[in-house]
């Protein structure tokens, strides 16, 4: 068993442990956010951690109605400037806690007396120490280069943060169910069947919308890292604005199509893909699609599907990688810790 596979299947237990380890901190952070009357959130991260921020952005803006922006660290590190962060919450996320560009944003916020929260897997890391509050992933060492359990735990802690910020009982109840639901999703026997269809694929598009757009981004990254497929991800709405011209009968698509508010958009795009005779695999919990080229997932709420879809995507990438004879634990040219400025 590869480290990647082992770490994928660890995730249900690791999420429970991660939440319990940080449970009391959420209450303190919530109270501080309310005390400061936070009006906006600035998110800073790279790679998979950045994708967790897309998930957080949708949750925070929909449920808390607080706008979330993504920092451009080069404003500080290259152009020697700073932006006014007054009345903001600044969140920095890094698996290793060593990302210098993420740290630069946190340091700038601290100088301005702004509330900072950091999320890392190492409590003694520079970024962990820099935040006013630190949420520890607490998932153990991740030995595979490709982030799986750290990404899932980042999403989970960010989701829990929103549930506490908003006092949204439904979100909290659904998040508590996530470990059980992803354990079920991981046992989907059809993942390997569908992955075999992708072994000879050289490039593909991965499309989604809403909460699962973050998953499309992360799915593409997992395929890039572990299978060397040239995977590009788009929000379905953005794909219409230019990239649609690339679609023909040689194109390959994966569409994440949960049965939620995005369902009609997904359906229309899938029909357009079929009309161009492009190859397609549909990840869905809807009954409206034929069984052919459909990877069926269990029905869940809008708050749970990002988790069941990403563990399915992780396993899909793993199976494709192994089918191509690639060791997913050591992607060519990559290291576990990447430091950018």
From first to last of its 341 residues, what are the pLDDT tens digits of the chain? Answer: 899 999 999 999 999 999 999 999 999 999 999 999 999 999 999 999 999 999 999 999 999 999 999 998 889 988 989 899 999 999 999 999 989 999 999 999 999 999 999 999 999 999 999 999 999 999 999 999 899 999 999 999 999 999 999 999 999 999 999 999 999 999 999 999 999 999 999 999 999 999 999 999 999 999 999 999 999 999 999 998 989 889 999 999 999 999 999 999 999 999 999 999 999 999 999 988 877 889 999 999 999 999 999 999 999 999 999 999 999 988 766 655 555 65
Using one digit for the tens of pLDDT, what is the confidence trace for 64-94?
A: 999 999 998 889 988 989 899 999 999 999 9
What three-state secondary structure class fits 68? strand
Q: Can you name the residues that pair with 252 across neighbouring β-strands? A: 279
Burial level of 23, CB count in 10 A (0-12/13-18/19+)? exposed
Assigned domain for 337 exists: no
- Of 177, 202, 234, the position where a domain reaches its end is 177
- Of 148, 177, 206, the position where a domain reaches its end is 177
Asked if 161 and 308 sit in the same domain, the reply is no
Asked if 137 and 196 sit in the same domain, the reply is no
Asked if 159 and 50 sit in the same domain, the reply is yes
Assigned domain for 195 exists: yes
288 token code pair: 């409206």
Assigned domain for 127 exists: yes
Assigned domain for 183 exists: no
Assigned domain for 65 exists: yes
Asked if 141 and 243 sit in the same domain, the reply is no
Confidence (pTM): 0.95
Q: Give all strands (DSSP E) within the chain, no chain letters.
A: 40-44, 68-70, 88-93, 115-120, 133-136, 203-208, 230-235, 252-257, 279-284, 294-296
pLDDT at 331: 75
Asked if 250 and 156 sit in the same domain, the reply is no
Asked if 59 and 172 sit in the same domain, the reply is yes
pLDDT at 6: 97
Asked if 54 and 150 sit in the same domain, the reply is yes
pLDDT at 287: 85
318 token code pair: 């793993």
Assigned domain for 8 exists: yes
pLDDT at 162: 98
Asked if 172 and 226 sit in the same domain, the reply is no
Domain that holds residue 169: 3-177
3-36 vs 305-323: helix crossing angle, rounded to 10: 150
User: What CATH number is associated with residue 87?
Assistant: 3.40.50.10490
CB 85, CB 112: distance < 8 Å: yes
pLDDT at 31: 97
d(CA 4, CA 74): 32
Assigned domain for 329 exists: no
pLDDT at 289: 85
Q: State the total domains in the chain.
A: 2
Assigned domain for 336 exists: no
Asked if 118 and 252 sit in the same domain, the reply is no
Asked if 155 and 198 sit in the same domain, the reply is no
Asked if 111 and 217 sit in the same domain, the reply is no
Asked if 267 and 145 sit in the same domain, the reply is no
């Amino acid at each position: 068993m590869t480290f990647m596979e082992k770490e994928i299947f660890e995730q249900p237990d690791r999420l429970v442990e991660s939440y319990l380890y940080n449970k009391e901190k959420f209450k303190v952070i919530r109270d501080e956010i309310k005390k400061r009357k936070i009006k906006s959130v600035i998110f800073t991260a790279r790679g998979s951690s950045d994708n967790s921020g897309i998930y957080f952005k949708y949750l925070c803006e929909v449920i808390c109605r607080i706008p979330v922006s993504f920092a451009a660290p080069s404003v500080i590190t290259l152009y020697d400037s700073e932006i006014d962060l007054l009345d903001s919450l600044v969140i920095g996320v890094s698996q290793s806690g060593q990302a210098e560009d993420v740290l630069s944003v946190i340091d700038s916020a601290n100088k301005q007396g702004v509330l900072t929260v950091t999320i890392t897997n190492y409590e003694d890391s520079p970024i962990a120490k820099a935040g006013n509050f630190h949420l520890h992933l607490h998932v153990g060492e991740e030995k595979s280069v490709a982030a799986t359990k750290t990404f899932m735990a980042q999403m989970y802690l960010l989701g829990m943060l929103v549930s506490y910020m908003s006092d949204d009982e439904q979100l909290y109840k659904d998040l508590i169910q996530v470990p059980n639901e992803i354990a079920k999703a991981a046992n989907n026997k059809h993942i390997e069947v569908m992955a075999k269809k992708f072994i000879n694929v050289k490039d593909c598009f991965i499309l989604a919308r809403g909460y699962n757009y973050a998953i499309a981004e992360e799915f593409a990254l997992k395929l890039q890292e572990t299978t060397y497929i040239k995977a590009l991800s788009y929000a379905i709405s953005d794909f219409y604005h230019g990239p649609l011209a690339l679609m023909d009968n040689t194109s390959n698509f994966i569409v994440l199509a949960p049965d939620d508010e995005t369902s009609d958009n997904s359906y229309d795009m899938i029909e357009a893909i079929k009309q161009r005779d492009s190859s397609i695999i549909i990840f869905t919990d809807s009954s409206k699609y034929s069984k052919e080229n459909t990877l069926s997932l269990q029905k869940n709420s809008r708050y749970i599907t990002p988790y069941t879809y990403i563990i399915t995507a992780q396993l899909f990438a793993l199976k494709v990688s192994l089918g191509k004879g690639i060791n997913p634990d050591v992607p060519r040219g990559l290291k576990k810790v990447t430091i950018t400025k």
